[in-house]
Copies of this chain bind each other. A is one copy, B any other.
Amino acid sequence: MKQNKYDDPGFFVNYSQMARSVSGLDAAGEWPAFRALLPTLREKNVLDLGCGFGWHCRYARAQQARSVVGVDLSERMLARARESTNDPAIEYRQLAIEDIDFAATQFDVVLSSLALHYVAHFDIVCQRVHHCLVPRGSFVFSVEHPIFSALAAQDWYYGEHGERLHWPVDHYQMEGPRQAMFLEHEVVKYHRTIATYLNTLMKAGFTIMGFSEPQPTQEMLDKHPDMRDETRRPMFLLISAIKNG
């Protein structure tokens, strides 16, 4: 059974209150870096894996993508996505990311934002994305950074006065599930090393094109001084790759 945490009502309420859920992409600290890795979307057929509320799907269409398919396992997420979308060129489908089964070369671009660390089998995802992409098509995704996901606690190490001393790393080489807390709920995340992300992509037939460990922009730091700690360790990892061919 694939994890479907977003259909848990309490979790869904908390998720809906996150800044990025209310205000969309511009409230997501990593969005400028993610956008910079995307190819031009004009006239492209786009697939969004773990589309959530559909922000990236609508962004793709605003960039004049020809068509967009958004996939998510959560019916609640998709219901909200459909409510927020008035565009016949965007189609939402309820599906686990590992279960996608699109036609060969159906898409020019596959993107995924902060969803693949919930997926147990990254190798299978890479193979299926490779299958449904055109040659030279782009795969761009973000995940929680392995430095961030190595320890299940996903928290700073604090001093006796509650100050953030540093970010603790342990069990880095032990890949697999982590019982993590997110929005006050237990969720299972899958820790993988950076080597595994990159080598799995290359083995599946992709060439690495870009790699980002973004930090908040100066503009964001000015607006949200509490984000300064985000420069102390990377929280997100973004990779862009193209299908060889």
Give A residues with C-beta under 8 Å from B: 147, 150-151, 157, 165-174, 193-195, 198-199, 202, 207-213, 215, 231-234
Chain B residues with Cβ below 8 Å from A207 are 207-208
Given A199-B211, A210-B202, A211-B195: A168 touches B170 (CB 8 Å cut-off): no
* A157 & B166 in contact (Cβ 8 Å cutoff): yes
A interface secondary structure, majority: mixed
Q: Is the CB of A213 within 8 A of B193?
A: yes
Contact of A198 among B172, B174, B208, B234 (CB under 8 A): B208
Verify B194–A232 contact, CB threshold 8 A: no
Q: Which residue of B lies closest to A170 (CB)?
A: B166
Q: Please give the distance in Å from A159's CB to the nearest CB on chain B.
A: 11
Which residues of B have CB within 8 Å of A167?
Answer: 168-170, 172
**Nearest CB in chain B to that of A214: its residue:** B195
- In the complex the two chains form, is A233's CB within 8 Å of B169's CB? yes
Q: Using Cβ atoms and an 8 Å threshold, which residues of chain B touch A169?
A: 147, 166-169, 232-233
A233 in contact with B172 (CB, 8 Å) = yes
CB-defined contacts of A172 to chain B, threshold 8 Å: 147, 167, 213, 231-234
Cβ contacts under 8 Å, A215 to chain B: 173
Q: A209: which B residues are within 8 A, CB to CB?
A: 202
